[in-house]
Amino acid sequence: MSILQAQGLSKKFGGLDAVSELSFAVEAKEIFAIIGPNGAGKTTTLNMISGLIKPSAGKLKLNGQEISIKDSAERCHLGLGRAFQVVQPFPEMTVEENVLVGALFGKSGVSEATGRKLAQEVLKQTGLLALKDTPAEELTLLQEKRLEIARALATQPKVLLLDEVMAGLRPGEARQAVELVKNIRNKGVTIVFIEHVMPVVRDLADRVMVMDYGKKLAEGSYQQVTNNPQVIEAYLGAEE
Amino acid sequence: MRRISYDLLFVLLAAALLFFLPATLKALYGKASVSYLSLLINATGLAILALSWDILARTGQLSLAHAAFYGAGAYTTAILLKLADWPLWLGIPLGGIVAVLLALLLGSVTLRLRGIYFAIATLAFAEVLKAVVQQLPTRIAGGAAGINVAALFRPAFIPGEMERWEVAFLRNQSYFLVYVGILLLSILVSILVQRSRLKPAFTAIRTNEEVAAVMGVKPARYKLLAFALSSFLVGLLGASEAHRIGSVLPDETFGIGTTVFALVTPIFGGLYTTLGPILGAAGLASVEELLRRTFEEGYLIGYGIVLVASILFMPKGIVGLIDSLKRRRRKLPRSAEEAV
């Protein structure tokens, strides 16, 4: 059974159809990429999945359970984790405190001791243990991206939504991040990610969905979608 | 958790010291201790006001409705005693509870408001509440003329055994202890917030509510909890003040001044801390008294200058200043080493 399902998901901003009639299904433990030109509605889609904006129409199911009517915190408790495109750490907190928020509140009924232990594990997994007492506002971009992923991981997600976590990273750093994402999947977490850096998509994605003007343009393996004439047209423009 | 017991020890010690303070002052200064105690009562009241406001502010809710909850507490006890022969002390806890109910009402309609819109909504709430109290039937709320409130303590003068001023001393001593009690309760609540999982929740919501929600923090729950804790404490203060001052008046009791002091004091002392609002209250009460004694006329101008200067030169308040001094001291030796 698919772990995450969207049916007819739509969002109108005024007269603009940011996302229209979008349906897709993500299988458990899959790495699912969403790509597309700027303004295709990728981040809007993630925002609807994590409950930050309300869809104009459509349904969302997580693990077979309808989540469209639930708020962000409830979706998080059900197993939806999210890392943001624009990194948004809590700047006044240390790295550890940032992660602790996810560890303590990501699932209901986590005790303080369990939360601290969990935060330690996540810090270790994401290579942030040495920085745990550093205020989040003093991190480099790569470290901030790691923190963004760490906080999401600390909520113990079944499905992790990553919004362009590679953007702005140097190639060497991106490779490290790719390894991190693979490790996370190997622990049984399903990953849905938005990415512009195509080599990253090629290295990571089991399946790719291409969006353009709020609609699904193509879906399939990396090879399939990159050879699809419609996709090439959307990215490069039509050949005269 | 270990840090909590350390904090509690500190609070108990402070409580013991404050408990014996009036007697010590009396022994040291005699008659003058009466006015010292008045000053201390003002400072303690200001500390409660500031700390309770700060607890709410930790969730990012910069409220301009603090006077409303203060006034709600004051009017609760005043109306109770006017309408029926209730026990004198009952109005204080009830004042806190009524303040909580009003706060939950306000808090639940302002959940989605941020920043300036939240501030304006809370200010409007306070003004509306004042207007409602003014418009209530005079036999209930006294209208614009207010209600007289019975004193909590009426120490009797015993000729031959004590001097005249000692009556005022006993009265002030009793009120001081009540205020100290409420302040200690406020400190305990604040410490509990700071040392428990409430702190990461409050801070996360204050910094970025959407991100906090995506990480599983339920903003509505914690914002309302902060409203309840904050308003309960200031409601207790309002009710006690009504007894001490001896009357409630819409314009005075719901005056915007209460709200202004509630937010200026933590800013002066250091926001989002337990110590900041208390240091701020001690500092501001002393500055005010000092200025009042130095310049009889227009001392408030000097007070304003002190506030503006403090915000310009110590934006993080007294606590922030202490922190940066500590950090500088810690960093100096290291940079000296590097220089060598």
Contacts A–B by Cβ distance under 8 A? 74
State the number of CA atoms in the 13 A half-sphere of B285 facing the CB. 23
- d(Cα B2, Cα A108) in Å, to the nearest integer? 24
Contact by Cβ (8 Å): B28, B172: no
- d(Cα B48, Cα B82) in Å, to the nearest integer? 26
Are A1 and A72 members of one domain? Answer: yes
Are A39 and A4 members of one domain? Answer: yes
Are A13 and A128 members of one domain? Answer: no
Are A58 and A118 members of one domain? Answer: no
- d(Cα A47, Cα A32) in Å, to the nearest integer? 16
Contact by Cβ (8 Å): B50, B185: no
The count of domains in chain A is 2
* Mean of the per-residue pLDDT values of chain B: 93
Contact by Cβ (8 Å): A167, A120: no
Residues of A in contact with B215 (CB under 8 A): 76, 101-102, 105-106, 151-152, 154-155
Residues of A in contact with B196 (CB under 8 A): 112
DSSP secondary structure string for all residues of B172-197: HHHHHHHHHHHHHHHHHHHHHHHHST
Task: Give me B98's structure tokens.
Answer: 């009524």
Query: Do A93 and B200 lie within an 8 Å CB cutoff?
Result: yes
Are A55 and A96 members of one domain? Answer: no
Are A177 and A227 members of one domain? Answer: yes
Are A47 and A110 members of one domain? Answer: no
**Of A119, A153, A187, which residue constitutes the final position of a domain?**
A153
Task: Give me A93's structure tokens.
Answer: 């907190």
Confidence band of B297 (pLDDT split at 50, 70, 90): confident
Task: Write out pLDDT tens, residues B140-184.
Answer: 999 999 999 999 999 999 999 999 999 999 999 999 999 999 999
- d(Cα A114, Cα A93) in Å, to the nearest integer? 20
* Pairing outcome for strands A190-194 and A159-163: parallel
Residues of B in contact with A47 (CB under 8 A): none
SS3 B54: helix
Query: Do A105 and B217 lie within an 8 Å CB cutoff?
Result: yes
User: Within 10 Å of residue B83's Cβ, how many Cβ atoms?
Assistant: 10
- d(Cα A138, Cα A3) in Å, to the nearest integer? 37
Are A135 and A64 members of one domain? Answer: no
pTM for the structure as a whole: 0.94
Query: Do B213 and A51 lie within an 8 Å CB cutoff?
Result: yes
Confidence band of B335 (pLDDT split at 50, 70, 90): very low
Are A161 and A61 members of one domain? Answer: yes
**Of A102, A135, A153, which residue constitutes the final position of a domain?**
A153
User: Within 10 Å of residue B184's Cβ, how many Cβ atoms?
Assistant: 17
Least confident of A30-34, A227-231, B48-52, B59-63: A227-231
Please check whether residue A235 touches B, CB under 8 A: no
- A84 closest CB neighbour out of B201, B211, B213: B211
CA quadruple B268, B272, B273, B277: dihedral positive or negative? positive
**For chain B, domain boundaries:** 2-261
Any idea what DSSP says for residue B32? Answer: G
- The distance of B203 to chain A (nearest Cα, Å) reads 8
**Of A153, A176, A192, which residue constitutes the final position of a domain?**
A153
**Helix/strand number for chain A, H first, E second:** 9, 10
Closest CA to B224 of B93, B112, B68: B112
Please check whether residue A90 touches B, CB under 8 A: yes
Domain boundaries, position A145: 86-153
Backbone angles phi, psi at A18, to 5 degrees: -65, -40
- d(Cα B70, Cα A37) in Å, to the nearest integer? 56
Task: Write out pLDDT tens, residues A145-194.
Answer: 999 999 999 999 999 999 998 888 898 888 989 999 999 999 999 999 99
CATH number at residue A173: 3.40.50.300
Are A232 and A168 members of one domain? Answer: yes
Are A119 and A13 members of one domain? Answer: no
Are A24 and A139 members of one domain? Answer: no
Of A119 and B302, the structure prediction assigns the larger pLDDT to: A119
Query: How much is the pLDDT for A238?
Result: 64
Please check whether residue A88 touches B, CB under 8 A: yes
